[in-house]
Structure 1
């Protein structure tokens, strides 16, 4: 057996054949040629767009109003401090959204007539908060919540703004979880029950682990969207990145702080989006996010 294994192993002095070397060289030249063409076409397109913008009659006024470097530098610390609040809101809301949406998804997938009230409540919740615009929910809770003066609940705009984000996003994420749970083949549940597991144990140890792996890519997309929508709490007066940019703009009516805020948001969301696409392709979700 040892001799047979030794004979099947590739020799240490193995070298590719002439044909293989030519094929590798052709592939290298093709890759390099594609990269040069892609870079050239991209630069050409950017040059055309830039030329049209710069040569427009109102470019000087737009440049002074939206792309003032001194204004960008002076407003950057305030906008960056507000962005830190957006990041904390996103992190806290993401945890609460996962917990609430998973609960709703489980409620909607419980079988049997006894669980009908749970399914009804879960369905009504999803239908209502998917039907209401997020901005409207923020207004309703942000202005109506403190007026209720509920015992034990804060009256701050930040609390109610975060509550609106959690309630709205949980309706969408619950559907993602439900789709993941229902995508697990029924034989998996039957196999768990045949091993003596209860319904809850089967759900926890058999169904949910498989569903979780399948829904990670769409959940990461929702996280990217949540990062952007966290700026909507600025309508309640919370000083986040957008509100800080608005305050800086009100000083001299120069809109460069808005551009700074948009740039900082892109610095967060674009890497997250690329990471999501890469993870999706790695897990076999071909076509997710396209190919660069």
Structure 2
């Protein structure tokens, strides 16, 4: 498969988890010059995905992947790509597999303050009623060596160690761009213009909806959350049927997101835990600063107010 051919992507967004990949996916799909057929095919971390209990990836073969991207129509195919939320954490499997199958594509990595990312990841599972531990207990179990007993997609702390994954992608690809979730939120217009331009898209275009997606929080009404929003196979099938009936995927997802957000209550991490995690990530953030050439000292602010300004 040749990078940028009609049957392969020109770019991959490897994540990370809870770093804004769902929002970026929507912004790219909205661009008339960009083709992003789906989110998270899992082709490039099939081995890791198979180890998740009860989890099935969407795409298993190179032929399926070719067919997915081969649906681009017209004499000149638009810029195409895949947005994933897990290829960063599974970098040891994903980076070389991407390079082998689709070549030296552009790699756009989204990162977020690892302290905030860990808590958001935890709250994501609380939102979906799939996490019963307190955040403190979850952190303690992982830091005390109990991560092997937990599925990798709930490695809340480990997923925030970005230095090794970024280094791996830099070693395998010649065009790697690292962007920050905080820049997406705080200065959206110049941020998205820069992303579009780097991908070879018209940078003057602005997506119609810049609302944050895939929010986390504690359900206000657990019955409503369980019946209407807790993920399940039949709900995914119902969503797919609605989309197949002709309603655009982005419209369906946006409606679900708005309704679900009304039943969520944000809860802050304790200041003591924030200070602890700042210490946990200090060394890794220092290495990441060296790799990216960016000042990331604001990530290690123990004061939540300063860290999120």
TM-score, normalised to structure 1, is: 0.25
Q: Greater strand percent: which structure?
A: 2
Higher helix share: 1
TM-score, with normalisation over the residues of structure 2?
A: 0.24
